[in-house]
């Protein structure tokens, strides 16, 4: 049990305690990486705040020379994204590498020219994943995750793409908390303050695509998930019914993305169902 916050109805601000989060999350990275017998991580740096925070936490935990940031632009990626990624590399003093994914993406879609933005975006996210895992093998490193709790809950990510990693320090932080932590650990302000974007196509912004703002949805998700408010309590806290329905539907509808593939049970011990071991088995 944890001493509970006041839940006597109404909205409750999401707590952020950057000093404590920084301490816990750097401890997490150092501990979970080293127990595997390696010292290093690779991280895809997009120029956004999430990957900036993950990379800087890893640099603090493992030392900057043990973090390899890979920039993986596509020809339509915004030049500003690369500048921002370079700013993080400079501030954190980490190793870096640039791999342009344009040739492999364009070669593939030359065969499927009618593919829409979503297919193209997902393909790019998965190409980037294969590059990160390739370099993790080359560099004896683990792939560091950069998905925050908001996008994981909403399913706003590509399965086996940007959602794939070996360990993720920020997966239990809402976007609002990532922003607060970013400011506290010295992520350049232009990265924290800019409009969030997956930068999968020109002019894309997360909030335009989702149809709501991160602060509003975080406020809702925090009450819904962390404090387990009922629908009636959420309405009493002045969230509009259609918004509550839409977000609940997104969380429910994306549950498959947060689980391993479903396995048909035939034996007495099926992986993950009645064959249960920690990932840190023997470590």
Partner 1 sequence: MEFVVAVAQVNPRLGDVEFNLDLYEERVRAARARGADLVVFPELSLSGYFLKDMVSTVALRIDAPEIARLRTLSRGGAIVAGFVEETADYRFFNSAAYLEDGEIRYVHRKAYLPTYGLFDEGRYFARGDRIRSFATQRGQSAMLICEDFWHPSAVYLVALDHALLVICPSSSPLRGVSDDREQDDNARYWELLIRMYAQTYALFVVYANRAGFEDGVGFWGGSEIVDPTGARLAKAKYYEEDMIVAPVNLKAARRQRLAAPLLRDEDLDLTIHELVRIRDRQGAGGDDAGK
User: Which residues of the chain form beta strands (DSSP E)?
Assistant: 40-44, 67-71, 95-98, 141-143
Does the footprint of partner 1 cover residue 5 (CB under 8 A)? yes
Token reading at 74: 């596509």
> Minimum distance from CB of 119 to partner 1 (Å)?
32
The CA distances from residue 55 to 3, 26, 49, 75, 237, in Å, are: 32, 11, 10, 24, 36
Binding part of the chain for partner 1, among 14-22, 98-106, 188-196, 213-221 by CB under 8 A, reads: 14-22
> Minimum distance from CB of 126 to partner 1 (Å)?
24
Block residue for tokens 């990486």: 33
Q: What are phi and psi of 71, to 5 degrees?
A: -95, 130
Binding part of the chain for partner 1, among 117-125, 192-200, 259-267, 269-277 by CB under 8 A, reads: 269-277
> Minimum distance from CB of 19 to partner 1 (Å)?
7
Quickly count: other Cβ atoms within 10 Å of residue 131's Cβ: 18
> Minimum distance from CB of 269 to partner 1 (Å)?
8
Closest C-alpha among 143, 69, 80, 131 to residue 102: 131
Binding part of the chain for partner 1, among 15-23, 87-95, 121-129, 260-268 by CB under 8 A, reads: 15-23
**3-class SS of residue 163:** coil
Query: Residues with Cβ < 8 Å from 241, sequence gap 6 or more?
Result: 235
Question: Beta strand pairing status for 141-143 and 40-44?
Answer: parallel
- Residue from 7, 17, 230, 270 touching partner 1 (CB under 8 A): that is 17
Distance CA 3, CA 74 (A): 48
By CB under 8 A, the count of residues binding partner 1 is 27
Does the footprint of partner 1 cover residue 3 (CB under 8 A)? yes
> Minimum distance from CB of 280 to partner 1 (Å)?
5
Buried b vs exposed e over 12-25: b needs ≥16 C-beta within 10 Å?
Answer: bebebeeeebbeeb
Query: Residues with Cβ < 8 Å from 278, sequence gap 6 or more?
Result: none
For 8, the enclosing helix (H) or strand (E) is none
Does the footprint of partner 1 cover residue 1 (CB under 8 A)? yes
15 or 213: CB nearest partner 1:
15
Does the footprint of partner 1 cover residue 281 (CB under 8 A)? yes
135 or 215: CB nearest partner 1:
215
> Minimum distance from CB of 279 to partner 1 (Å)?
5
Residues 19-38 that bind partner 1 (CB under 8 A): 19-21, 23-24, 27-28, 31-32, 35
Does the footprint of partner 1 cover residue 15 (CB under 8 A)? yes
193 or 280: CB nearest partner 1:
280
Query: Residues with Cβ < 8 Å from 155, sequence gap 6 or more?
Result: 250, 251, 253, 254, 257
17 or 255: CB nearest partner 1:
17
Residues 122-141 that bind partner 1 (CB under 8 A): none
Q: Which residues bind partner 1 (CB under 8 A)?
A: 1-3, 5, 15-17, 19-21, 23-24, 27-28, 31-32, 35, 167, 275-283
């Amino acid at each position: 049990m944890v001493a509970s916050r006041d839940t006597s109805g109404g909205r409750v601000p999401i707590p952020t305690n950057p000093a404590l989060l920084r301490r816990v999350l750097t401890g997490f990275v150092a501990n979970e990486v080293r127990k595997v017998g390696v010292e290093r991580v690779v991280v895809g740096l997009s120029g956004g705040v999430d990957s900036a925070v993950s990379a800087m936490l890893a640099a603090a935990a493992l030392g900057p020379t043990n973090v390899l940031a890979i920039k993986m632009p596509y020809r339509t990626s915004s030049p500003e994204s690369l500048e921002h990624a370079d700013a993080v590399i400079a501030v954190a003093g980490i190793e870096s590498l640039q791999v342009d994914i344009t040739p492999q993406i364009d070669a593939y879609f030359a065969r499927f020219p009618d593919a829409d933005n979503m297919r193209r975006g997902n393909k790019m996210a998965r190409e980037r994943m294969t590059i990160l895992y390739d370099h993790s093998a080359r560099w004896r490193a683990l792939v560091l995750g950069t998905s925050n709790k908001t996008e994981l809950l909403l399913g706003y990510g590509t399965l086996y793409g940007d959602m794939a990693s070996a360990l993720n320090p920020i997966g239990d932080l809402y976007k609002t908390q990532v922003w607060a932590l970013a400011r506290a650990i010295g992520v350049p302000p232009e990265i924290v303050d800019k409009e969030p974007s997956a930068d999968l196509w020109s002019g894309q912004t997360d909030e335009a695509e989702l149809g709501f703002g991160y602060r509003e949805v975080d406020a809702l998700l925090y009450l819904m998930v962390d404090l387990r408010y009922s629908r009636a309590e959420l309405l009493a806290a002045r969230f509009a019914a259609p918004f509550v329905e839409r977000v609940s539907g997104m969380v429910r509808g994306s549950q498959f993305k947060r689980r391993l593939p479903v396995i048909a049970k035939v034996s007495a011990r099926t992986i993950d169902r009645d064959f249960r071991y920690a990932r840190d088995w023997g470590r």
